[in-house]
């Protein structure tokens, strides 16, 4: 009798104890590989504090910043592995990386601001190998912008662009391989010298024009910064950075208060190499608008920046004959 009581008492406790133990063991702070928690913390740190990554050797900081949004792909992987291993520490680290990404880039995913705006502009590197300049020009005009900035214009293709755009854009200016087409009159057009050291006079990739809009005169800069390369010595952005500093100085010295910069800047607005520009000008508030390469866009290196105003939204337009996608943006002063 006493034995039966003991056995029943033991039998009654066993399920309760087993259930409680299983519940407590489902999540464990010390469960899982340390590398998983470390990976989540590393992603959060790289996204939130990318500026702390040194740029020497090899300009690794700039290389990271050129593709920074893509670190977000690690977030669902980290969360899934943390759930699979039932590691509370790893899950917290993964959620921290998600929060860092959302703080840095979440605003770009929000619906565009459809409020009033002053101008619609289009920026496009048309490629010096574009097989259909006239078709490209017509596609850009169909978006209905007031300003169109083009880079990689060649002497042979320029007449085709000019002829196709002339009916809607009677005012235009070209300096070297960059050009601006406008529905509004242009004034004080001049070349902007953004040549890095050691580059000859024939290299001309910058212009400035005053655009006389119904809302007042605006200074518009069109620029094409030097390309970057990834090689044995790292991220080759030295000339690009030097050219960005020269362009930043030109914008800083601009007498007009309202300024728009349109151009292929060969990097993203997160890249510290463009800080001479992004520290002085507003960047787009909504939209990723990846523009390069056109076949599988992974980065927006075609930019619309504004001083004394905002860029509420930027979007990528359909592909043309270029290796870049055009981007269109609304500008508000």
Q: Which CATH number goes with the domain that contains 260?
A: 3.60.10.10
At residue 74, the pLDDT reads: 96
> Looking at 82, 109, 136, which one is the last position of a domain?
109
DSSP β-ladder status, 119-125 and 186-191: unpaired
Is the pLDDT confidence value at 124 over 90? yes
Neighbours of 305 (CB within 10 A): 25
pLDDT classification of 236: cutoffs 50, 70, 90: confident
At residue 5, the pLDDT reads: 46
b vs e for 167-201, b when ≥16 Cβ sit within 10 Å of the residue's Cβ?
Answer: ebbebbbbbebbbbbbbbebeebeebebbbeebee
Cα torsion at 296, 299, 303, 308 (round to 10°)? 140
- pLDDT (tens digit per residue) in 1-24: 545 544 444 544 454 555 555 545
The percent of residues above 70 in pLDDT, for the chain, comes to: 89
Is the pLDDT confidence value at 310 over 70? yes
Residues 62 and 197 in one domain: no
At residue 29, the pLDDT reads: 55
If one counts the domains in the chain, the total is: 2
At residue 24, the pLDDT reads: 54
> Looking at 84, 109, 134, which one is the last position of a domain?
109
Do residues 292 and 93 touch, judged by C-beta distance below 8 A? no
Pick 23 or 84 by higher pLDDT.
Answer: 84
Residues 44 and 89 in one domain: yes
Residues 173 and 243 in one domain: yes
At residue 6, the pLDDT reads: 46
Least-confidence region, from 76-90, 132-146, 183-197, 268-282: 76-90
Domain that holds residue 97: 2-109
Residues 6 or more apart in contact with residue 2 via CB below 8 angstroms = none
Residues 86 and 149 in one domain: no
Is the pLDDT confidence value at 245 over 70? yes
Do residues 266 and 240 touch, judged by C-beta distance below 8 A? yes
Is the pLDDT confidence value at 318 over 70? yes
Q: Tell me if 114 is assigned to some domain.
A: no
Residues 91 and 167 in one domain: no
pLDDT classification of 232: cutoffs 50, 70, 90: confident
Alpha-carbon distance of 9 to 24, in angstroms, equals: 23
Residues 132 and 155 in one domain: yes
Residues 101 and 132 in one domain: no
Helix (H, G, I), strand (E, B) or coil at 250: helix
Residues 81 and 197 in one domain: no
Do residues 234 and 58 touch, judged by C-beta distance below 8 A? yes
DSSP state string for 18-66: HHHHHHHHHSBTT-S-HHHHHHHHHHHHHHHTGGGS--TTTTHHHHHHH
Residues 72 and 165 in one domain: no
> Looking at 109, 143, 165, which one is the last position of a domain?
109
Alpha-carbon distance of 329 to 312, in angstroms, equals: 8
Residues 54 and 30 in one domain: yes
Residues 17 and 145 in one domain: no
At residue 85, the pLDDT reads: 87
Closest CA to 129 of 149, 148, 150, 153: 153
Q: Tell me if 185 is assigned to some domain.
A: yes
Is the pLDDT confidence value at 31 over 80? no
């Amino acid at each position: 009798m006493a034995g039966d009581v003991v056995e029943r008492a033991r039998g009654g406790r066993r399920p309760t104890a087993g259930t409680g133990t299983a519940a407590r063991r489902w999540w464990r702070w010390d469960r899982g590989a340390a590398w998983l928690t470390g990976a989540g913390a590393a992603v959060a740190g790289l996204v939130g504090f990318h500026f702390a990554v040194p740029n020497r050797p090899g300009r690794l900081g700039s290389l990271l910043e050129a593709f920074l949004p893509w670190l977000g792909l690690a977030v669902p992987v980290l969360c899934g592995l943390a759930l699979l291993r039932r590691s509370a520490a790893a899950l917290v680290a993964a959620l921290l990386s998600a929060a860092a990404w959302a703080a840095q880039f979440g605003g770009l995913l929000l619906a565009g601001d459809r409020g009033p705006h002053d101008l619609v502009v289009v920026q496009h590197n048309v490629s010096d190998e574009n097989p259909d300049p006239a078709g490209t020009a017509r596609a850009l005009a169909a978006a209905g912008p007031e300003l169109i900035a083009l880079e990689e214009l060649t002497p042979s293709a320029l007449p085709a662009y000019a002829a196709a755009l002339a009916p809607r854009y009677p005012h235009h200016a070209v300096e070297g391989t960059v050009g601006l087409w406008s529905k509004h009159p242009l004034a004080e057009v001049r070349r902007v010298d953004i040549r890095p050291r050691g580059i000859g006079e024939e290299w001309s990739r910058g212009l400035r024009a005053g655009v006389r809009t119904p809302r007042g005169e605006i200074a518009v800069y069109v620029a094409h910064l030097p390309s970057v390369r990834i090689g044995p010595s790292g991220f080759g952005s030295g000339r690009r950075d030097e050219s960005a500093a020269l362009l930043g100085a030109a914008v800083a010295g601009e007498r007009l208060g309202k300024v728009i910069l349109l151009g292929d800047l060969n990097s993203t607005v997160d890249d510290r190499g463009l800080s001479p520009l992004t520290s002085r000008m507003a960047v787009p508030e909504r939209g990723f608008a990846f523009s390069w390469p056109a076949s599988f866009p992974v980065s927006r290196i075609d930019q619309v920046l504004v001083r004394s105003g905002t860029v509420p939204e930027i979007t990528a337009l359909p592909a043309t004959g270029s290796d870049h996608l055009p981007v269109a943006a609304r500008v508000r002063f």
